């Protein structure tokens, strides 16, 4: 049983660099889409005709 656990731990340790690369890729994609969302929605104008539900003085894309 200990030999199987040791083999499993060795496999996990060998896979860590690939997991790090995948995490970096996900971080970059998240950052790109977050920046794109801020760029697209920062000039959103709210008025009586278009109330912008969900946005207020605390939740907006201006900062």
pLDDT one-digit tens code per residue, 4-53: 999 999 999 999 988 999 999 999 999 999 999 888 877 777 777 777 77
Please give the Cα distance from 35 to 29 (Å, whole number).
10
Write out the DSSP string of 34-62.
Answer: HHHHHHHHTT----SSS--TT--SSS-S-
Residues composing the chain: 63
Structure tokens, 10: 């060795």
Cβ–Cβ under 8 Å, residues 17 and 24: no
Give the global pTM: 0.57
Number of structural domains, the chain?
1
Domain limits at 45?
A: 1-63
What pLDDT, on the 0 to 100 scale, is given for residue 34? 93
Please give the Cα distance from 49 to 45 (Å, whole number).
10
């Amino acid at each position: 049983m200990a030999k199987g656990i040791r083999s499993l731990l060795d496999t996990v340790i060998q896979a860590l660099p690939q997991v790090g690369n995948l995490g970096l890729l996900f971080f970059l994609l998240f950052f790109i889409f977050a920046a794109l969302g801020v760029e697209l929605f920062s000039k959103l104008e709210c008025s009586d005709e278009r109330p912008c539900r969900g946005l207020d003085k605390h939740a907006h894309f201006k900062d």
